[in-house]
Every structure is written in C-alpha cells, then in structure tokens.
Structure 1
C-alpha cells in the first residue's frame, strides 16, 4: 500500500467510524475495519475499562475473539488486559510458548490463536479507554510495520469512541431534560405549583429517596404520581396542593 492509498484508507475509515450512531455500533465497526487495515490480522476485538474489569469484552469479529477476550476478563491476565492497565503495547509471536500470561496463553492456543497484538485505545484527551486486540492463526503474524499500522488505526478508533461517548452523553442529557420537563408539567397541573416549585419537589424527592432526578421524573411520567407524599416533599410546606383525588 503506497502513501496515497494509505491516506485514502484512513480518510474513509475516519468518515465511516464517525458516521456510526452510538458506541456499540462504533465498536463493532472498529473491529471489522481493523481486520482490513492491519495485515496479518484474522480476528479483532475491543476490551474497555469498566466497573467490573479493566478489560471488559465489548466487541468482536467472531466467537473465537469473544472467548479470548472474555478469558482475559475472567482470569485477570493477558496482553489486552495488561494494555488496559499500564498503557503499553504487547505482541505474542506464539501463544504456545509465551510465558508472560501462563493461564491465558495456553487456553487461547487451544482456540487456534497463535499470534496476538494488543494496542491501547486513547481518546482525544489521552484518557486510556481500553485495548484493541488483534489475533491471527499463524505464528509470528505481526511485524514491526503491522504494529505501526495498528497504532495508527487505534488512534483513529480511540478518537471515534470518544466522539461516540460525547454524542451519547449529549443525547442522554437531552432525554433527561425532556423527561424532567414533562414531570414538572405534570406536577404543575396536578398540584397547582409553579415551574420552580415543581422542580423543588422533584429535587426533594430525589434527595430523600437517594434516587437520580431523572429516575424520579421517569416514575412520575410513567406512574402518574410521586413516590411519597407530596406534602412531605414540598420545601417549607408553603406550596399549595390539591388532593390526589382532587
């Protein structure tokens, strides 16, 4: 691949990744494109840092990858697990002889995986998101050039994940804002409150029940009423209320 072809590939790749509508779709497209972008790669997966593990299996190109990534999560060892911990790149030339991860390597060798390349995924602010895991059925499948290609690809992939999360966060914020607004409107109508008083009731309900404000609003919108007694939730008890049957 010459420089012009490589530039065109990554231009198309960036547009493709940024066109995905949410994080799961972005992750799935990343692993599919990784197989095309990195020579020697037969399968690809993404593991992300999460609450349960530093390497939670998030996307894969097939069941072999899913098993290999889940094993790293379950055993707390493996190259992509390590990449997600210390922000380093790891290559295994032959899983049958590598001794760095004595429980994981023999297990994936049984799956037919011989070579592994794990590179870190960073967002645009250099926050470590997880690792891109590249697998091959051949021994010594990944060269130095393949590593360089994987690092370039991972930079694009990490940026796409960051954008996807930002967009998802904005969408969730808009949904929450809309839900809270609907709940305020229902309280205004039912209890003859002002908009500010209705929000104060929501905030008090959230605080007293240790429940997120969005979830309090959802309960009102879906169930048509507050979780507790409105009189106990109105600040200072100075808000005019009508009865539930009024």
Structure 2
C-alpha cells in the first residue's frame, strides 16, 4: 500500500510538473501577444478549480495604497475595492505577509467582519488569496472569488499556490511589475503637481495639466520629470521655463 501510494504521488507530481510547464509556455510562449496582468488572471480562471473571478492586487509602496492591476469581472473589482476602502480583507493580509488565506463562507467570517459582510452582500461566498512574491520582490496577491460556499478545496489551493509561483516568475521576467509601478508613481506625482500649480497660480486643474504638458513639450522633458521638479520647487521650475 505504501509503495502504491508513493507511486501515485510521484505520478501526480509528474503530471503537475508537465501541466505547469505548459502553463509557463502559455504565458510566455507567444511573442506576438505581450504578457499582461490580465493574461495572468484570465488563465487563473482556467487553472484554479472553483474560481469564478480572479484579480491581482498590487502592493502599495510609499504614499501609494494597494490597487488592482487586473481583474476578470466587475464583481472582482468591487470585492477588491471594498478591501482597499475598508482597509481589511484577505488580499491585504496576504500582500502584507499573511501568505495563503482561504474563507469557505464569508457570511460567517470573523477575520474581516466589515469586508466579509459587504462582499457577501455582493454574492461572494468563498475567497482564496495567495501572496505573489519572490526573494527579490513582494508583488502583491492573486485573489480568487466564488459565489459558492466551500469552493476552494485543498487541491484547488495547492494548484493556485503553484500557479502563483509560476505567475510571479513570468511577471518578474517580463518586468511588468516595475513598469506598472513606475506608471502609478508618475501618475501620482503628476496629480500632486497639478494641485500645487492650481493652488499657487489660482488656475484650474485642467489648466495646470496643460501647463505641465506645454513645459514638457517645449523643453523636451518627460512629463513625470516636470511634475517632480514642480514638487521640489513648489512651483514652476525656473530651469524648465522656455
């Protein structure tokens, strides 16, 4: 019996290895289709049994809060957004070092009482959140949602955890995380710079953005760099005035 069990386990591991090798090839194998966060969450629907909606929460840094990089449905986006608004929930706990978290029925979930009640009101019953991280970087979390209770059996959790490892690897390899973080940081700086100019010169936010854009074009300086100089000098940077 022991030998048979071992042989069965080896066969399962071999099948898993082959399966996830195909997944990695599927994520990176077609050079004509750029890898995206959306592609990763779309594949999660196919791979994780019980998953009816998937999203990726990107870890906040500095002044940033957590945000959803991609989602498969409006329900997923709303369930994620409620976690950010309430500052509680499994994806936040996973991102902040909690590892893998599962809830079989949010109607009876004491760990995140406000979020669980709100998510259950949307029709969500089960949730699975898995941290996406490597030795170099903590990316965020993969979130899987279901309208059914007890949707994520141990096998589903195991498959999701293995998939998360592969997804983390291909996302890092494609440098998507760095690119998105740069975009988010730039957007934040541009928005704050608009506010500084609007208050300092008593102009509208639209006029402030147009001023930033004009300075960027006329001085051949990237918009985010103009914004950062505005933040440093708390006004129009003398070195960029045409």
TM-score by length of 1: 0.64
Counterparts in 2 of 1:1-246, with a 5 A limit?
6-19=16-29, 25-51=35-61, 55-123=66-134, 125-165=135-175, 219-221=218-220, 227-228=240-241
User: In 2, Cα distance between the equivalents of 1:14 and 1:45?
Assistant: 18
User: In 2, Cα distance between the equivalents of 1:4 and 1:218?
Assistant: 57
- Where do 5+ consecutive residues of structure 2 fail to align? 1-10, 183-214, 223-238
* Cα 1:81–1:20 shift into 2, 3 Å: farther
Look up the SS of the partner of 1:129 in the other structure: strand
Whether the 8 Å CA contact 1:57–1:73 is kept in 2: the answer is no
User: In 1, Cα distance between the equivalents of 2:115 and 2:147?
Assistant: 16
Whether the 8 Å CA contact 2:132–2:142 is kept in 1: the answer is yes
**1:232 match:** none
Structure index of larger Rg: 1
User: In 2, Cα distance between the equivalents of 1:117 and 1:148?
Assistant: 11
User: In 2, Cα distance between the equivalents of 1:149 and 1:61?
Assistant: 19
Whether the 8 Å CA contact 1:18–1:163 is kept in 2: the answer is no
* Cα 1:167–1:32 shift into 2, 3 Å: closer
* Cα 1:98–1:48 shift into 2, 3 Å: same
Worse-matched range after superposition: 137-146 or 1-10: 1-10
How far does residue 50 in structure 1 lie from its aligned partner after superposition?
A: 2.1
Aligned pair count reads 179
TM-score by length of 2: 0.65
How far does residue 165 in structure 1 lie from its aligned partner after superposition?
A: 1.8
Whether the 8 Å CA contact 2:99–2:131 is kept in 1: the answer is yes
Whether the 8 Å CA contact 1:55–1:72 is kept in 2: the answer is no
* Cα 1:152–1:222 shift into 2, 3 Å: closer
